[in-house]
Chains A and B, each alone.
Chain A
Amino acid sequence: AQSVSQHNHHVILSEAASLELGCNYSYGGTVNLFWYVQYPGQHLQLLLKYFSGDPLVKGIKGFEAEFIKSKFSFNLRKPSVQWSDTAEYFCAVNSMMNSGYSTLTFGKGTMLLVSP
């Protein structure tokens, strides 16, 4: 079974600091990769996604992620975080399961706290 690993459960940063959240997955075949964010009291929202092409993808609110196939990684980055980025971030992988249809496997999430 495939798995997704997020390296940090909690990250605390000051405003304007740079952010990098790690994500590694185990599946060796073709994958679709996602980062979702859950702001306090809100539902999961898509930040960005990667299917193919340029391995550096840009999402909303200044976030970007880089797909490195050889490392099975899809790390999320932001050059300068803001207090409003305080949220829980989830990496997710979508691959073809035995049934022939795909589903999302999520990492355990990283809680980011940005202090003003």
Chain B
Amino acid sequence: KAGVTQTPRYLIKTRGQQVTLSCSPISGHRSVSWYQQTPGQGLQFLFEYFSETQRNKGNFPGRFSGRQFSNSRSEMNVSTLELGDSALYLCASSLQGRGQETQYFGPGTRLLVL
């Protein structure tokens, strides 16, 4: 079974631009979560989607948004990029997003904002 895939793997943007990252979950997984990983803050939860609905949201500004499609693929968007948005963005999928389920992580998209 193919794992979680994320595209693109690397991105360079400038301040003020916007960016869209994509995540394809493991086949059959309907819950997709997004995390931001930085050296200073570690891994922080952004949001979680299930059946095209955002069920949970972390403590990030409204510039961070996402969506999920009917095939469970998910995208996240960051508008008006800031230098501090430079990070590794990780996507994770699980069957239904229940607490006892394992989340399977993708390789991440490394975003550099100049």
Contacts and interface: CB of A to CB of B under 8 A. Distances in A.
Interface of A: 32, 34, 36, 42-46, 49, 51, 90, 92, 94-97, 99, 101-109
Nearest to B4: A43
B56 interface: yes
Given A99-B55, A102-B97, A103-B48, A49 B43 contact: no
Contacts of A92: 43
Given A43-B107, A43-B108, A95 B99 contact: yes
A32 B42 contact: no
Interface residues on chain B, size class:
20 to 34
B45 A104 contact: yes
Given A43-B107, A103-B48, A51 B100 contact: yes
B102 interface: yes
A95 B100 CA distance: 9
Given A99-B55, A103-B33, 14 more contacts: A42-B107, A43-B3, A43-B106, A43-B107, A46-B104, A95-B99, A96-B99, A97-B56, A101-B48, A102-B97, A103-B56, A104-B92, A106-B43, A109-B43
B1 interface: no
A105 B45 contact: yes
A73 B104 CA distance: 23
